[in-house]
Amino acid sequence: MKHRPANTVIVLDFETTGLSPNQGDRAIEIGAVRLEDGQIKDRFQRLMYPGRRISGFIESYTGISNQMLSDAEPASKVMAEFADFIEDFNLVAHNASFDSKFLISELARTDHNSAYLFACSMLIARRLYQDAPNHKLGTLVRFKSLPTDGTFHRALADAEMTTHLWLAMLEDISTRYGIDQADFALMQKLGKTAKHSSHQFLLKHAVTG
DNA sequence: TGCCAGGCCCTCTTTAGGGCCTT
């Protein structure tokens, strides 16, 4: 039987042709990290052909060219492989609402289930790091002095930076609130909050239940 | 370069508007 650590999450990031699958945008790259008990155990990165040319803006923004995509496998094939990679583990992304809608949209083109639970590192960071200049991923990486190879807006590089941010937040929450180990359920709760609660109240409430 | 959308959150709010964040 396959070993399944209790505290395993998949941290993922999509590069896409634009902001909205409802407007016809497609994924062009998926990058992800399998994090088991705080250790990176596996990585996944694939380009995928979206069925049409991408804009010059996206080429410039991501560094992914039309030439690179012309040699890539179709999205449906890549997403089927990715579904096998993520199994049924919980998912983490920076601004998870964005990656969630692309995951649902692309998996809908395959016969794979897309009923995953997401936690959003951006929403948690907004509560935890209120003195950060802003809560863009790159800013938070610099703010927390997290590891980076200097690559931004590529799927695996962004997923790895999000992984380090996730680990830093787990540690900071445990240290700040004196709990043994922050887990996915707590982090997901911190990303879904009632309005009009102060951040301090919210964190303490989430920790104490 | 920044628009497209959408969820979240703040405030000059809740019968609303606008900024943030993702590509």
Q: What is the pLDDT of residue A114?
A: 79
Q: What is the torsional sign of CA A85, A27, A160, A176?
A: negative
Residue A91 has φ and ψ, to the nearest 5°, of -115, 150
Considering all nucleic acid strands, name the nucleotide whose C1' atom is nearest to the C-alpha of residue A22.
B5
How many Å from the CA of A44 to C1' of B13? 44
Q: Percent of chain A beyond pLDDT 90? A: 77
A81 φψ region: left (φ > 0), alpha (ψ -120 to 50), beta (else) = alpha
Per-residue pLDDT band for A23 (boundaries 50, 70, 90) equals: very high
How many Å from the CA of A40 to C1' of B9? 32
Instruction: Tell me the two tokens of residue A49.
Output: 């052909």
Find the range with the poorest average confidence among A21-35, A65-79, A170-184: A170-184
Considering all nucleic acid strands, name the nucleotide whose C1' atom is nearest to the C-alpha of residue A194.
B9
CATH of domain A9-208: 3.30.420.10
- Write out pLDDT tens, residues A159-190: 999 999 999 999 999 998 888 888 999 898 88
Per-residue pLDDT band for A26 (boundaries 50, 70, 90) equals: very high
Nucleotides of B under 7 A from a protein CB: 1-11, 13-14, 20-23
Average pLDDT over residues A117-139: 94
Per-residue pLDDT band for A195 (boundaries 50, 70, 90) equals: low
How many Å from the CA of A78 to C1' of B21? 26
Task: Judge whether A200 and A207 are in contact, CB under 8 Å.
Answer: no
